[in-house]
Amino acid sequence: MKTNHEIDYYILGEEMQYVEIELDPQETAIAEAGAFMYMDDGIQMETIFGDGSAQQKGFMGKLLNAGKRLLTGESLFMTAFTHHGYNKAKVAFASPYPGKIIPLDLAQYQGKIICQKDAFLCAAKGVAIGIEFQKKLGTGLFGGEGFIMQKLEGDGMAFCHAGGHVMKRTLNPGEVLRVDTGCIVAYTQDVDYDIQFIGGVKNTLFGGEGMFFATLKGPGEVWLQTLPISRLASRILAYGVGTRKEEGSILGGLGNLLDGDGA
CATH number at residue 76: 3.60.160.10
- Position 232 in a domain: no
pLDDT of 38-97, one tens digit each? Answer: 999 999 999 887 777 765 555 555 556 555 555 555 566 789 999 999 999 999 999 988
Return d(Cα 21, Cα 40) in angstroms, integer.
Answer: 11
Domain identity same for 48 and 140: yes
Domain identity same for 141 and 198: yes
pLDDT at residue 26 in the model: 95
Q: Pick the closest to residue 149 from 107, 118, 105 (CA basis).
A: 118
- Position 2 in a domain: no
Q: What is the DSSP string of the chain?
A: ---SPP-EEEEE-SSS-EEEEEE-TT-EEEE-TT-EEEE-TTEEEEEEETT--GGG-HHHHHHHHHHHHHHTT--SEEEEEEE-SSS-EEEEEE-SSSEEEEEEEGGGGTTEEEEETTTEEEEETT-EEEEEE--SHHHHHH-GGGSEEEEEESSSEEEEEEES-EEEEEEPTT-EEEE-GGGEEEEETTSEEEEEE---HHHHHH-SS-SEEEEEESSEEEEEESS-HHHHHHHHHHHHHS--TTS-HHHHHHHHHHTT---
- Position 249 in a domain: yes
- Position 166 in a domain: yes
Estimate to the nearest angstrom the gap between the alpha carbon of 172 and the chain centroid.
Answer: 24
Domain identity same for 217 and 111: yes
Q: Pick the closest to residue 125 from 72, 56, 185 (CA basis).
A: 56
Domain identity same for 118 and 245: no
- Position 207 in a domain: yes
Domain identity same for 220 and 243: no
- Position 1 in a domain: no
Q: Pick the closest to residue 225 from 179, 170, 188 (CA basis).
A: 179
Residue 174 has pLDDT above 80, yes or no: yes
Return d(Cα 9, Cα 62) in angstroms, integer.
Answer: 28
pLDDT of 209-247, one tens digit each? Answer: 456 788 999 999 999 999 887 776 777 777 766 555 554
pLDDT at residue 263 in the model: 46
pLDDT at residue 134 in the model: 65
Return d(Cα 8, Cα 104) in angstroms, integer.
Answer: 12
Return d(Cα 223, Cα 263) in angstroms, integer.
Answer: 45
**Burial environment of residue 194 by CB neighbours within 10 A (0 to 12, 13 to 18, 19 or more):** middle
Domain identity same for 44 and 92: yes
Return d(Cα 88, Cα 18) in angstroms, integer.
Answer: 19
pLDDT of 115-154, one tens digit each? Answer: 988 899 999 999 998 888 765 545 444 445 446 788 999 9
Query: Residue type for 190, please?
Result: D
Domain identity same for 89 and 29: yes
- Position 245 in a domain: yes
Q: Return the minimum-mean-pLDDT range out of 23-27, 28-32, 85-89, 253-257.
A: 253-257
Estimate to the nearest angstrom the gap between the alpha carbon of 73 and the chain centroid.
Answer: 12
Q: Which domain holds residue 84?
A: 8-227
Mean pLDDT of the chain: 80
Domain identity same for 193 and 252: no
- Position 233 in a domain: no
Q: What is the pTM of this model?
A: 0.80
What is the chain's length? 263
Domain identity same for 219 and 255: no
Domain identity same for 29 and 70: yes
If one counts the domains in the chain, the total is 2
pLDDT at residue 207 in the model: 45
Domain identity same for 162 and 250: no
**Do 184 and 116 form a contact (C-beta atoms < 8 A)?**
yes
Domain identity same for 46 and 100: yes
